[in-house]
Amino acid sequence: MKKKILVSAVILCAVVVCYLTFGRRITDDTSMPFVNDETVKGKWRSVDFVESPDSFDPAVQSWNHGLFLKGLTFLDNGGMFGSVRTWTKGFVLNKREKTASQYLIKNINGAEYLFFEWKSGDYTIRHMKPKYYALKRGAYPGDGTDIIKDNIDLPFVDDADVLGSWKSVDFVETPEAFNPRKKFVRDELFLKELVFLPNGKTPDGWQTWTKGVVIHRNDKTAGKYIIKDIAGGKYLFFEWKSGDYTIRHRKPWYYVLKKTAEIRRDDINLPFKDDPQVVGSWESVDFVESPEKFDPTAKTWAGDLYLKEMTFRAGGKGGKPWWTWTKGVVMHSGDKTASGYTIKEIQGRKYLFFEWKSGDYVFRGAKPYYYVLKKK
């Protein structure tokens, strides 16, 4: 019994020691005001990774592996090219990671070198003494002068399998590294979803697609995608061509997205049936989950109403050229939706309940809410 208690006490002490050693993340003061330093401005190319500035020898390479940091560019007013980092005299600040890394400049054998304190997870989490990148003044791959631009002038080729909504579930180095039972990235994913609409369109104006490729018009990138069936689920692997690819020339990783909904297309080829009571102008007064939830004395929707009004013209014409109507239904020619409407008299006033089939319905599979409108 005493032996068991002793073992438990030893384990408990070990846990406490580990927590005190590694459990508390180091956070530096990153609230320093900007102080100018003309000597640091410009481009610096990484040449080595050393224990300390004093251990650097330009004639002998200390780090024999690939250098993760390719270079640094110090801009005016404390900015840094292609980075979340900022700088002030003597320090490079990373407000996201809460680190303040010292830098110092030395002249060695007639050449200028910058020594940059590398505060990675070894410093913030494991409490290790940071090493230093040694950088020499000059251009480097990814400094902005050689930004990668893909060929985005690709013809449209249809792909019925990709149509629909895809939700991000992981971020991996290669498609082969993905395991649906073990998530690789535990932090929040930057890319939340991708939606593929017919004819190469997406909800985002700057992004289009053709079979096997997502095209970003602004960034001039063509990110490949592949679809795989894994453990009963359909997954899309999307090549993420961020600034790490275009600016820093790194090999892109992949977002893993799981299909969550198909594109909905309603039958909008409906014959016209007249409905004299709907003709006229209606103004929006509320937005509710269902007609039964509407109370004219207590507004449900606290925010601004996106749909301001609707005008039903005689003969099935709508107030906008892209929608028409027949008795009980509004047809949208662009979205290919047929939204039901009903008219109710409540407390002596006529109200129109209009089924709002937005993108949440079309490509996310959500049940539509209702706009409530009263006749002008």
Q: How far apart are CA 114 and CA 290, in angstroms?
A: 65
* Secondary structure in 3-state letters for the chain: CHHHHHHHHHHHHHHHHHHHHHHCCCCCCCCCCCCCCCCCCEEEEEEEEECCHHHCECCECCCCCCCCCCEEEECHHHEECCCCCEEECCEEEECCCCEEEEEEEEEECCEEEEEEEECCHHHHCCCCCCEEEEEEECCCCCCCCCCCCCCCCCCCCCCHHHCEEEEEEEEECCHHHCCCCCCCCCCCCCCCEEEEEHHHECCCCCEEEECCEEEECCCCEEEEEEEEEECCEEEEEEEECCHHHHCCCCCCEEEEEEEEECCCCCCCCCCCCCCHHHCEEEEEEEEECCHHHCCCCCCCCCCCCCCCEEEECHHHEECCCCEEEECCEEEECCCCEEEEEEEEEECCEEEEEEEECCHHHHCCCCCCEEEEEEEC
% the chain with pLDDT above 90: 80
Separation between Cα atoms, residue 162 and residue 197, nearest integer Å: 9
Q: What is the pLDDT of residues 7-24, one digit of tens each?
A: 454 454 544 444 444 458
- Mean pLDDT, the chain, as a whole number? 92
Q: Is the pLDDT of residue 304 over 70?
A: yes
Q: How far apart are CA 207 and CA 204, in angstroms?
A: 6
Q: What is the pLDDT of residues 68-77, one digit of tens each?
A: 999 999 999 9
Burial of 375 (0-12, 13-18, 19+ CB in 10 A): middle
pLDDT of residue 35: 97
User: Mean pLDDT across the stretch 37-42?
Assistant: 96
Tell me the per-residue pLDDT of 137-192, one tens digit each, with 9 for 90 and over.
Answer: 998 877 777 789 999 999 999 999 999 999 999 999 999 999 999 999 988 999 99
pLDDT of 126:
95
C-beta of residue 97 within 8 angstroms of C-beta of residue 130? no
Calculate mean pLDDT across residues 352-359.
95
- pLDDT number for residue 96: 92
Q: Taking Cα atoms as reference points, which of 49, 96, 74, 66 lies closest to residue 251? A: 66
pLDDT at 1 over 70: no
The pLDDT value given to residue 8: 52
Residue 78 has pLDDT above 70, yes or no: yes
Q: What burial class does residue 304 get, using C-beta atoms within 10 Å of its C-beta: 0-12 exposed, 13-18 middle, 19+ buried?
A: exposed
Which residues is 279 bridged to in the sheet?
Answer: none
pLDDT of residue 48: 98
Tens digit of each residue's pLDDT (9 = 90 or more) over 261-278: 988 999 999 999 999 999
- pLDDT number for residue 23: 57
d(CA 363, CA 194): 10
